[in-house]
Amino acid sequence: MTDGTAEEWRGWRAATEAALYGPDGFYRRPEGPAGHFRTSVHASPLFAEAVARLLCRVDEALGRPPELGFVDMAAGRGELVTGVLAALPADVAARTRAYAVDLADRPPGLDHRIEWLPKPPRGVTGLLFANEWLDNVPVEIAEVDPAGVARRVLVRRDGTERLGEPLSGAEAEWLARWWPLPAEEGLRAEVGLPRDEAWADAVAAVARGLAVAVDYAHTADARPLFGTLTGFRAGRETAPVPDGSCDVTAHVALDAALEACGVPGGRVLTQRAALRALGIAGARPPLALATTQPAAYVRALASAGEAAELTAPGGLGDFGWLLQPVGLESASLGGLLVDVPDHEEQ
């Protein structure tokens, strides 16, 4: 392997930032994320309906404020915020101020009620919802060298890697606290410090209400030995090459983000448990309905299939939901912020 020039090699954080959000970056493309991968938002309108139900619970907990904020982080082409507005009761929708936050340009034809911003607004009273946002906040990759030292992984635009300097300072401290690597050559980790900082900043944008992050996730008791860095292109997982041709993503240490925001009362649970608490169960309709109301049975069966996909073990149901209340009582959101018995999360 040739070293190339110093300018060709950079850490994965800088390389990913340019590949995803630069002038010709992946997330600037007109087809948007839905052209390359399928999130819960794209899987079923039931997801937006569940988020709308959550916004209504937040509204109740806040005492029905004159203006209720809904912030859709990493909004893509505005699919989630559009679905949420459509699912809200008329009286709630009339008081809702909707924001879509994304670095891409505002999509043509988006509902005029939705404000399009590059950063979340400050002082929100309501719900900030970040679906698959934190996994695209770029991070450094660490790898253990033959001497047992965790070093920064450097990468070129074509995906070629080499080891750089040892991690130090706040990055080394984060790794030691949240993802300690045994001194075994080749073990890897994603240094989630930038995500912790991004989440803390998002939570700080909420004056009163709830902030939610939904993502591929892992916790300290089950970190993957070789990290999770990967790419997606045209619906398929692919090698993570930081040239703007594919998504570059890695799972999120939601437990670290939870602690980093410094606000009490938050918790992490599975999407399966969260959606069940919001009325999405995936139960099949009674077979008798097929005889008495066949059209209704077909609709109910399709809805049950979509709900099952959203809550499936080994799939979307295993996503993590990080819920962080700001100025709300834990008991005010219908069980989402109180302990869920283990059998209900399975």
**β-sheet bridge partners, residue 155:** 10, 161
The answer on pLDDT for 90 being more than 70 is yes
pLDDT in tens, 283-332: 665 565 556 756 654 665 555 666 677 787 888 778 999 999 999 876 66
pLDDT at 178: 98
Residues 18-49: b if buried by 16+ CB within 10 A, e if exposed? bbbbeeebbbeeeebbeebbebbbeebebbbb
**Looking at residue 3, what is its pLDDT?**
44
**What proportion of the chain, given as a percentage, has pLDDT over 70?**
84
Strand partners, 130: 73, 213
Cβ count near 162 (within 10 Å): 14
Closest CA to 118 of 218, 9, 28: 28
| Per-residue model confidence (pLDDT) at position 304 | 62
Is it the case that residue 24 has pLDDT exceeding 50?
yes
The predicted model scores a pTM of 0.88
- Is pLDDT of 34 > 60? no
- Please compute the mean of the pLDDT values over residues 179-202 and round it to a whole number: 98
Q: Where are the beta strands (DSSP E) in 85-123?
A: 96-101, 114-117
Strands 206-215 and 124-131: parallel
Q: How confident is the model at residue 261 (pLDDT cuts 50, 70, 90)?
A: very high
